[in-house]
Amino acid sequence: MKVSELCKMVQESIRSGQYPLENEQRDLANSIQVINRSSFDDLKSQDIKIEVRLQDLYVLNNYISDMRHLPGIIEIDILDSFKMLCRRLERIDKSSGGNSNSTISLKRQ
């Protein structure tokens, strides 16, 4: 199996709702992008890099081909990365009141 095929398969599975997600996560599922950033498209290559992107936030995970059950590990990591990025986006929205251009100021006591 190719890395790009695995990325596309997991991305489509998240978008189609095949994984149990919370309401906010379901709303963001169509925005996920899973991108192969490896030099080669083979699961047997020594340096596998997969980017999970949600709007302007992303996580880059890297793997070596010697790992047992590598496709399953990658699948779980993509799902975990997506959920983590959803939480980060939620914090950004809450802290800025929906406006990502706001600033935070500190007052001395």
pLDDT digits (tens, 9 = 90+) for 56-74: 999 999 999 999 999 999 9
Q: What is the pLDDT of residue 97?
A: 65
78 φ, ψ (degrees, to nearest 5): -65, -45
CB proximity list for 27: less than 8 A, separation 6 or greater: none
| Every domain of the chain and the residues it spans | 3-91
Q: What is the pLDDT of residue 109?
A: 56
Q: What is the pLDDT of residue 69?
A: 95
The single residue listed with the structure tokens 């190719």 is 2
Residues of the chain under the 50 pLDDT cut: 100
Q: What is the pTM of this model?
A: 0.83
Q: What is the pLDDT of residue 92?
A: 86
Q: What is the pLDDT of residue 17?
A: 94
